[in-house]
């Protein structure tokens, strides 16, 4: 596994992709990334568990994040980092997802479903376009949220779909879009 340069002070290293997901460059300047409408590679993870009440999904409430603080989001949402060994090769989305699980929920190993979902997302109040790879997995094991996660909660998938329709302001816009169109 390659070594990646960590992001500093929420500024990060933004990998820029074209509409097809091909690497075109990177910048450490959020303003440049925002101004260029770059495709920023993001990994999203939705953890599910089966219960007697039906299938549930783990959501996290965003803590002191610069974007959408306090809103409910996917189990993990993580931006790709720069590869220290080869700065022109972005972190693979699966590596980004696994790193996010370790950093945000303390989950060391997981087996993702074989199918992942790719899409782009760009919202009115979000100045960049994200190239999002979504991974899903069944997980009933322990986890320990980091300080950057305000709280986590399991919610039935049926209830989540209803809540997204009736109270979309409780959720990040990208999660609303994903649940509405793909879940």
Q: So what's the pLDDT on residue 163? A: 96
Question: For residue 133, which of 113, 160, 161, 156 has the smallest C-alpha distance?
Answer: 113
DSSP line for 90-147: PPPHHHHHHHHIIIII--------S--EEEEE--TT--SEEEEEEEEEE--S-----T
Query: What are 27-52's pLDDT values in tens digits?
Result: 655 555 544 545 667 888 999 988 87
Tell me the CATH number at 104: 3.90.79.10
Number of separate domains in the chain: 1
Handedness of CA 121, 34, 151, 80 (dihedral sign): positive
Range of the domain at 48: 4-182
- Answer for the pair 71, 171: CB distance below 8 angstroms, yes or no: yes
What does the pLDDT look like over 61-120, one tens digit per residue?
877 777 778 888 988 888 777 666 665 566 788 888 898 899 989 998 888 886 776 666
Helix (H) or strand (E) holding 10: none
23: which strand partners? 17
Contact call for residues 134 and 178 (beta carbons, < 8 A): yes
Per residue in 8-24, pLDDT (tens digit) is: 333 455 556 655 656 66
């Amino acid at each position: 596994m390659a070594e990646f340069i960590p992001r500093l002070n929420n500024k990060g290293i933004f990998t820029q992709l074209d509409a097809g997901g091909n690497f075109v460059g990177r910048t450490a300047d959020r303003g440049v990334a925002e101004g260029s409408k770059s495709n920023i590679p993001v990994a999203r993870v939705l953890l599910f568990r089966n219960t007697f009440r039906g299938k549930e999904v783990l959501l996290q409430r965003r803590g002191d994040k610069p974007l959408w603080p306090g809103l409910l989001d996917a189990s993990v949402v993580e931006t790709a980092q720069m590869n220290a060994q080869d700065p022109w090769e972005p972190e693979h989305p699966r590596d980004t997802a696994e790193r996010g699980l370790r950093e945000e929920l303390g989950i060391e190993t997981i087996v993702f479903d074989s199918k992942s979902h790719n899409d782009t997302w760009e919202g009115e109040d979000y100045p960049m376009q994200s190239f999002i790879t979504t991974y899903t997995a069944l997980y009933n094991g322990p986890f320990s949220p980091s300080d950057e996660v305000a709280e986590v909660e399991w919610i039935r998938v049926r209830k989540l779909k209803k809540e997204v329709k009736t109270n979309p302001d409780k959720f990040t816009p990208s999660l609303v879009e994903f649940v509405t169109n793909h879940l």
